[in-house]
């Protein structure tokens, strides 16, 4: 196991390199962040020419998702305050991506990781966490992410001294990671011209943190959340807040709008993104873009940044792709 000083150094965020500078780093964790924007030029429906839509591709993080950012921050804070020390096991509930990030970080820093996940998360996610050396614990698939939260709490209560629980739904380090990194990246990448930021609601850390930062730069920027339109949905990773355990980090009054997105609409958008933009993404990305296009339809000009949390290779075994060949 690396020493505490080495652990802190390995997890230290890396500044963006100067143009033309070869990138060589001592730790995979230093490649978290600085993800690209890509303009969506084909999946635009009837959006006015003066409205530009950019996707921020978080699948380029080394763990494959936006969750690398808060996972690193939560572990950094745990090390800094002494809550995470050698011998402790990292434990948290997850719908998949945060678990993958924690498993990757645990492997780099030398900590065992146990992850409570709904039993119906995609097969790809289950295999990835095991490949990183983590131990999965499956909760009732019918209870979704809330069931994983409850089971995780029970495991922690049985042996509190064994575990360090980042507690992504209630840890302010989650939105802080996005305030420190995601928000500033979007501002810089758009040269401060972003007018709308759209993201899905899971833990809510992304939209809370990035939204707060963007509001500090320009209070007129609109922060728009996308959530499933029903408690019974197929949008893995997203929460229907009215029917869920509401994360402690979620503050709905900080949103300018919240839009409910139908599962079928999100799925169809995923198919379109693959065929028309060459982007293979997951369900939550499709939902976020549906929301972004709803916003765009009412504008004559603007710059919308929509966050795509991951790529789609983690969902090829899910209902998203059952019968996809019949999609028109």
Instruction: Say which CATH number the domain at 135 has.
Output: 3.40.50.1100
Structural element, H or E, at residue 75: helix 68-81
For residues 285 and 266, membership in a common domain is answered with yes
Q: What value does the CA radius of gyration of the chain take, rounded to a whole number of Å?
A: 19
Cβ neighbours of residue 19 closer than 8 Å, sequence gap 6 or more: none
In the chain the beta strands, taken as DSSP E runs, fall at 37-39, 50-57, 89-93, 113-118, 135-139, 163-164, 196-200, 222-228, 257-261, 301-308
For residues 190 and 309, membership in a common domain is answered with yes
For residues 151 and 202, membership in a common domain is answered with no
- Structure token digits, residue 52: 């530009």
For residues 191 and 113, membership in a common domain is answered with no
Q: What is the model's pLDDT at position 19?
A: 54
Q: How many domains does the chain have?
A: 2
Question: Please, are residues 218 and 191 in contact by the beta-carbon 8 Å criterion?
Answer: no
pTM score of the predicted model: 0.90
Q: Is residue 133 part of a domain?
A: yes
27, 56, 65, 67: which one is catalytic? 67
Active site residue 215: no
Q: Is residue 106 part of a domain?
A: yes
Q: What is the model's pLDDT at position 12?
A: 60
- Identify the segments of the chain with pLDDT beneath 50: 327-328
pLDDT tens-digit map of 69-90: 999 999 999 999 999 999 999 9
Say how many Å lie between the first and final Cα of the chain, rounded. Answer: 52
For residues 84 and 182, membership in a common domain is answered with no
For residues 125 and 251, membership in a common domain is answered with no
Active site residue 284: yes
Question: Please, are residues 198 and 304 in contact by the beta-carbon 8 Å criterion?
Answer: yes
Structural element, H or E, at residue 101: helix 97-109
228: containing domain: 32-62+178-326
Distance CA 125, CA 116 (A): 12
Q: Is 150 exposed, middle or buried (0-12, 13-18, 19+ CB in 10 A)?
A: middle
Residues in a beta bridge with 117: 138
Q: Is residue 7 part of a domain?
A: no
For residues 92 and 226, membership in a common domain is answered with no
Of 109, 131, 164, the residue that ends a domain is: 164
For residues 52 and 86, membership in a common domain is answered with no
Of 259, 263, 285, 260, residue with least CA distance to 273:
285
For residues 127 and 214, membership in a common domain is answered with no
List, edge to edge, every strand of the sheet that includes 113-118: 135-139, 113-118, 89-93, 163-164
Residues in a beta bridge with 198: 224, 306
Q: What is the model's pLDDT at position 328?
A: 46
For residues 148 and 223, membership in a common domain is answered with no
Q: What is the model's pLDDT at position 50?
A: 97
Q: Measured at the alpha carbon of residue 288, what is the angle toward residues 286 and 290, in degrees to the nearest 5? A: 70
Q: How many residues does the chain have?
A: 328
Q: What is the model's pLDDT at position 20?
A: 59
Question: Please, are residues 231 and 255 in contact by the beta-carbon 8 Å criterion?
Answer: no
Q: Is residue 82 part of a domain?
A: yes
Cβ neighbours of residue 221 closer than 8 Å, sequence gap 6 or more: 194, 195, 196, 197, 214, 215
Q: What are phi and psi of 173, to 5 degrees?
A: -65, -25
């Amino acid at each position: 196991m690396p020493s505490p000083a080495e652990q802190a150094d390995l997890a230290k965020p890396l500044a963006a390199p100067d143009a033309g500078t070869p990138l060589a780093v001592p730790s995979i964790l230093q490649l978290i962040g600085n993800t690209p924007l890509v303009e969506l030029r084909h999946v635009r429906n009837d959006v006015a020419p003066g409205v530009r839509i950019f996707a921020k591709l978080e699948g380029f993080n080394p763990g494959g998702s936006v969750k690398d950012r808060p996972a690193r921050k939560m572990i950094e804070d745990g090390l800094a305050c002494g809550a995470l020390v050698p011998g402790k096991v990292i434990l948290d509930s997850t719908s998949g991506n945060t678990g993958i990030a924690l498993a990757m970080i645990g492997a780099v820093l030398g900590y065992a990781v146990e992850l409570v996940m709904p039993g119906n998360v995609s097969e790809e996610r289950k295999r990835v966490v095991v490949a990183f050396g983590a131990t999965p614990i499956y909760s009732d698939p019918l209870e979704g992410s809330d069931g994983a939260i409850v089971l995780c709490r029970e495991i922690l209560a049985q042996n509190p001294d064994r575990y360090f629980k980042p507690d992504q739904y209630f840890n302010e380090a989650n939105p802080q990671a996005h305030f420190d990194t995601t928000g500033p990246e979007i501002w810089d990448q758009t040269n401060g011209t972003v007018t709308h930021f759209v993201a899905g609601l899971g833990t809510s850390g992304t939209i809370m943190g990035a939204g707060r930062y963007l509001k500090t730069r320009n209070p007129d920027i609109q922060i728009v959340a996308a959530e499933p339109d029903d408690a019974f949905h197929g949008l893995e990773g997203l929460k229907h807040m009215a029917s869920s355990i509401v994360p402690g980090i979620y503050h709905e009054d900080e949103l300018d709008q919240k839009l409910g997105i139908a599962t079928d609409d999100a799925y169809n958008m995923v198919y379109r993104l693959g065929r028309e933009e060459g982007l293979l993404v997951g369900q939550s990305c499709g939902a976020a873009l549906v929301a972004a296009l709803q916003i765009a339809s009412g504008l004559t000009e603007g710059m919308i940044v929509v966050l795509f949390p991951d790529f789609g290779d983690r969902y090829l075994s899910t209902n998203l792709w059952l019968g996809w060949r019949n999609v028109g």
